[in-house]
């Protein structure tokens, strides 16, 4: 059991086919108490109720709201006393081109994908620093590394590239406190984030460019998060782990 008696908080984890929920299931099966954060309280609670037995919580938290993040941290810390791992997983995307990005779309995509990583990290970092222990894993994307071209628009690429910079800077700042901060950069993973807008033709085109010859599934990314949350990665910080089947080899 890689996470026996550990407490892990995962944002964006109530979506049944999503990466966050797959991560919550895996972490719980590895002995962790899991806090599921998502927009809808009922959905978060129900998702927590479906996890393998343990002391799990489901809380409402819009990661783009500083107040929500502070509140979620206060509730979590009141319940468990501390956390060991934070998974900044929540995200949204939008398939538009540069000239079609309006100010509202820019704000929405940047707020959830990038600002949310800052706010939720800020909410939990002080308690991690007090214990001189913690692991934070942040969701970026292959879109950040190769300039999109898969599904999300340029604002999504920009937000996910911002996550890489933010995570590396936090890794540098909090390393002396024994807090590790790393990122994952998945390729195309079969979840509901594409909202039914991924055509079969586009899917086949994408698979042609993947050496492992398949799209990823949520468990592929959950396994990388598990590695980063556990002590197996005790000497790894500021790193970026590709989970893309070889779609981008660099």
Residues catalogued as catalytic: 156
Residue 86 lies near ligand NAD (rule: CB under 6 A): no
Q: Which of 7, 8, 10, 12 lies at the binding interface for ligand NAD (CB under 6 A)?
A: 12
* Residue whose CB is less far from ligand NAD, 94 or 127: 94
Contact window for ligand NAD (CB under 6 A) among 78-86, 166-174, 189-197, 223-231: 189-197
Cα-to-chain-centroid distance, residue 246: 20
How many other CB atoms are found less than 10 A from the CB of residue 124? 24
Identify which of 42, 45, 8 has the alpha carbon closest to the alpha carbon of residue 24: 8
Is the Cβ of residue 17 or residue 132 nearer to ligand NAD in the bound state? 17
In the complex, what is the shortest distance from the CB of residue 243 to ligand NAD, in angstroms, rounded to a whole number?
8
Q: Are 105 and 247 in contact (CB under 8 A)?
A: no
Count, residues near ligand NAD per rule CB under 6 A? 29
Tell me if 153 sits within 8 A of 95, measured CB to CB. Answer: yes
Quote the CA–CA distance of 37 and 26 in Å, as a whole number. Answer: 16
User: How would you label 25-58 residue by residue, b for 16+ Cβ within 10 Å and e otherwise?
Assistant: bbbbbbebbbbbbbbeeebbbebbebbeeeebbb
What residues from 18 to 77 belong to the interface with ligand NAD (CB under 6 A)? Answer: 18-20, 38-39, 61-64
| Cβ-based nearer residue to ligand NAD, 14 or 32 | 14
What string marks each residue from 89 to 118 as x (binds ligand NAD by CB under 6 A) or -?
A: xxxxx------------------x---x--
End-to-end CA distance of the chain: 33
Least distance to ligand NAD, CB of residue 194, Å: 7
Among 164, 186, 220, 245, binds ligand NAD (CB under 6 A): 186
181: left (phi over 0), alpha (psi -120 to 50) or beta: beta
Binding residues for ligand NAD, rule: CB under 6 A, are: 11-12, 14-15, 17-20, 38-39, 61-64, 89-93, 112, 116, 139, 141, 186, 188-189, 191-193
């Amino acid at each position: 059991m890689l996470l026996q008696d550990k407490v892990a908080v995962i944002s964006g984890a109530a979506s049944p086919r999503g990466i966050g929920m797959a991560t919550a299931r895996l972490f719980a099966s590895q002995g962790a108490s899991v806090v599921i954060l998502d927009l809808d309280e009922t959905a978060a609670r129900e998702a927590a109720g479906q996890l393998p037995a343990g002391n799990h919580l489901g809380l409402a938290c819009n990661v783009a709201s500083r107040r929500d993040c502070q509140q979620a941290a206060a509730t979590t810390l009141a319940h468990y006393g501390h956390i060991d791992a934070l998974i900044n997983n929540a995200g949204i995307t939008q398939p538009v081109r540069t000239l079609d990005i309006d100010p509202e779309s820019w704000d929405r995509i940047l707020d959830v994908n990038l600002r949310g990583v800052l706010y939720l990290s800020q909410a939990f970092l002080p308690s991690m620093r007090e214990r001189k222990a913690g692991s934070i894993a942040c969701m970026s994307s292959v879109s950040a590394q190769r300039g999109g071209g898969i599904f999300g628009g340029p604002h999504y690429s920009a937000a996910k590239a911002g996550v890489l910079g933010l995570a590396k800077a936090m890794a540098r700042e909090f390393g002396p406190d024994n807090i590790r901060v790393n990122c994952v950069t998945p390729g195309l993973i079969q979840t509901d984030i594409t909202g039914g807008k991924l055509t079969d033709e586009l899917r086949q085109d994408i698979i042609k460019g993947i050496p492992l010859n398949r799209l990823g599934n949520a468990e592929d990314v959950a396994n990388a998060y598990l590695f980063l949350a556990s002590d197996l990665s005790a000497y790894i910080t500021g790193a970026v782990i590709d989970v893309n089947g070889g779609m981008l080899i660099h």
